[in-house]
C-alpha cells in the first residue's frame, strides 16, 4: 500500500465520522489518465474533503508556509500534507506562478489527478469569484479533462480566522467534464484562456448554486483588509 493509500485508510473514515459527507457524481472522474478537478474554495480544509471524496489520489499545490516544521503540530500537518502527495510552492512575488504551473503540468503529464481552486484564494463571503486563467492554460496545454467540483458546508467548519474546526456536514458534488473543445490549441492566447476559464466557473456555479461575482477574490479581500486597517 502507498503512503497515500495508508493515509486515506486512516483519515477518510475519521473525517467522515467528524464531518459526515454527501458525495455526488464521483463517477464523473475518469478512472485513468490525467484529470483536473476545478473546485470552489470555501475553507483551508477543502483539499481534505475533495481528497476523501475522490476515488483517485488528488494532488494539490500547497503554499510553502504550510510545510513549516518548527513545532510538533506544524510537523504533524506537514507529514499529513506530504502523505497526501501535496506539492509545496513558494508564493512570494516572482516565485509562485511559474513554479506552480511547472509542477501542475508535471502532475498531469504523469497521468495523475490535479486539484485546483481557480479563484486562487478562499471566497471572502461564500460567493463564487472570477477564475484565474492558469486553469485554462493547464487544461488546454495538457489536454486533460476538467471536472467541476462544488463544495458546500466547509465554510462553516474552518472559516478564515478560526483555529479549531467545528462539526458540520459537508457536500462534495462532481459534475460532468466541461467541454473545452472550442478553445483547443489556443492555450497561448489570452482571450481563449479567459473564455475557457469562465466556462469552467459557470459549471462550478451551476453545481454549487453560488452567486457569481465578476471580480477576483484576492482584490476583494485586499479592499476588506484596507477598510479594517483604516
User: Residues 119-150: pLDDT tens digits?
Assistant: 988 899 999 999 999 999 999 999 999 999 99
pLDDT of amino acid 74: 53
pLDDT in tens, the chain (230 residues): 455 666 677 777 877 888 889 999 999 999 999 999 999 999 878 888 898 899 999 998 765 554 555 556 556 555 665 666 666 565 554 445 677 788 899 999 999 999 999 998 889 999 999 999 999 999 999 999 999 999 999 888 866 666 677 788 999 999 999 999 999 999 999 999 999 999 999 999 999 999 999 999 999 999 988 888 76
Q: How many CA atoms lie within 13 A of 39 on its CB side?
A: 31
**Which residues, including other chains, have CB under 8 Å from residue 153's CB and lie 6 or more apart?**
168, 169, 170, 171
Quote the pLDDT of residue 35.
Answer: 98
**Are 36 and 117 within 8 A, CB to CB?**
no
Q: Are 117 and 218 in contact (CB under 8 A)?
A: no
CA separation for the pair 115, 18 (Å, rounded): 23
Q: pTM of this prediction?
A: 0.87
pLDDT at residue 10, as a whole number: 73
What residues does 150 pair with on adjacent strands?
173
Residue 67, C-alpha cell as written in the block: 510545510
Candidates 8, 46, 21; CA nearest to 168 is 21
- The 3-state DSSP class for residue 70 equals coil
Asked if residues 89 and 63 have their Cβ atoms less than 8 Å apart, the reply is yes
**Residue 16's pLDDT is what?**
82
Segment holding 75, helix H or strand E:
helix 72-83
pLDDT digits (tens, 9 = 90+) for 79-91: 665 666 666 565 5
Q: What is the pLDDT of residue 228?
A: 83
Amino acid at each position: 500500500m502507498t503512503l497515500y493509500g495508508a493515509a486515506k485508510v486512516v483519515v477518510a473514515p475519521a473525517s467522515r465520522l467528524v464531518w459526515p459527507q454527501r458525495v455526488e457524481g464521483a463517477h464523473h472522474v475518469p478512472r485513468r489518465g490525467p484529470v483536473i478537478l476545478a473546485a470552489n474554495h470555501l475553507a483551508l480544509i477543502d483539499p481534505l474533503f475533495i481528497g476523501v471524496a475522490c476515488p483517485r489520489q488528488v494532488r494539490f499545490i500547497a503554499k510553502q508556509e504550510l510545510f513549516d516544521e518548527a513545532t510538533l503540530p506544524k510537523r504533524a500537518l506537514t507529514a499529513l500534507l506530504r502523505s497526501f502527495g501535496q506539492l509545496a510552492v513558494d508564493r512570494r512575488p516572482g516565485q509562485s506562478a511559474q513554479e506552480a504551473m511547472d509542477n501542475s503540468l508535471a502532475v498531469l503529464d504523469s497521468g495523475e489527478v490535479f486539484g485546483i481552486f481557480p479563484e486562487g484564494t478562499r471566497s471572502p463571503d461564500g460567493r463564487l469569484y472570477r477564475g484565474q486563467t492558469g486553469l485554462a492554460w493547464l487544461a488546454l496545454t495538457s489536454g486533460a479533462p476538467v471536472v467541476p467540483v462544488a463544495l458546500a458546508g466547509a465554510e462553516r467548519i474552518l472559516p478564515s480566522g478560526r483555529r479549531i474546526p467545528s462539526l458540520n456536514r459537508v457536500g462534495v458534488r462532481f459534475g460532468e467534464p466541461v467541454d473545452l473543445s472550442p478553445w483547443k490549441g489556443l492555450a497561448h492566447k489570452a482571450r481563449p484562456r479567459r473564455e475557457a476559464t469562465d466556462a469552467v466557473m459557470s459549471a462550478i456555479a451551476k453545481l454549487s448554486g453560488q452567486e457569481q461575482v465578476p471580480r477576483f477574490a484576492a482584490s476583494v479581500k485586499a479592499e476588506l483588509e484596507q477598510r479594517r486597517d483604516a
